[in-house]
Amino acid sequence: MAGQLIVGLDVSTRARAEEIVSLLGDAVDFYKIGYQCFYGADGYGLGKALLAAGKKVFFDLKLLDIDNTVEKGVAAIAETGATMLTVHAYPKTMRAAAKAATGSGLCVLGVTVLTSMDDEDVRQAGYERDAAGLVALRAQQARDAGIGGVVASPHEAEMVRAIVGPGMAVVTPGIRPAGAEKGDQKRVMGPAEALAAGASHLVVARPIIEAADPAAAARAILAEMDGKRVSFA
């Protein structure tokens, strides 16, 4: 169960990130490094150190550029031994990323629609679909591009799982355990419900890293997850 929980190291210093990892100890073995940590806390170096310590690393960089640049960037991340990397779920971008990751252990994830966005936000961005419709389109395109999985709201996890089948990762942020505040997230769900809906991995940051006892918070989330386990190779 611990392997399905990914803790987001959304902090601005490497010292704080390392402190969180130390506090979590063996309770967590999978960490997400996003913009804040990557740029503000030597996240690249931290990620390599975590990998050397036997942890799994998810670089949440949401790559989007011309095909050649994406391909070279994905290849560079693949060489680190990282487990996951995000790209924007545009067909050309995903195809370039899939090509670069071939033969490596890197699972490329296409980001569908951010969990901080709802139907009105999607319309304001110029899409003639609601959030669920855009997620469905991008899940189909991710499957066809041959990447390893997608990032989607837990509210779309069941739909996405039906589209991509059992072999792809469905990674869901927007996870809020019992009693946690939603913050700036709009499409959230509890841990057990997200797994039951088809998620393979859950990303949790603030409810763990801002807790007085991060290890206890992580164990509580793992206990909530315990009612449903999903296999993902």
Neighbours of 44 (CB within 10 A): 17
Has 119 been labeled as part of a binding site?
no
Q: Is 10 annotated as a binding residue?
A: yes
Is 78 annotated in a binding site? The answer is: no
Catalytic residue among 29, 65, 119, 121: 65
Q: What b/e string do you get for 192-226 counting C-beta neighbours within 10 Å, with b at 16 or more?
A: bbbbbbbbbbbbbbbbbbebeebbebbbbbbebbe
- The DSSP call for residue 175 is B
Contact between 96 and 120 under an 8 Å Cβ cutoff? The reply is no
Q: What's the rounded Cα separation, in Å, for the pair 26 and 226? A: 17
219 in a known ligand binding site: no
- Annotated ligand binding at 63? The verdict is yes
Q: Is 65 annotated to bind ligand?
A: yes
Q: Are 199 and 170 in contact (CB under 8 A)?
A: yes
Question: Is 206 marked as binding a ligand?
Answer: yes
Measure the CA–CA gap between 226 and 19, rounded to whole angstroms.
Answer: 26
- Residue 130: active-site member: no
Does 16 belong to an annotated binding site? no
Known active-site residue 72: no
* 115 assigned binding-site residue: yes
19: exposed, middle or buried (Cβ count in 10 Å: 0-12, 13-18, 19+):
middle
Is 60 tagged catalytic?
A: yes
The answer on whether 68 is annotated among ligand-binding residues is yes
| Known binding positions for substrate | 10, 32, 60-69, 115, 176, 185, 205-206
Catalytic residues: 60, 62, 65
| Known binding positions | 10, 32, 60-69, 115, 176, 185, 205-206
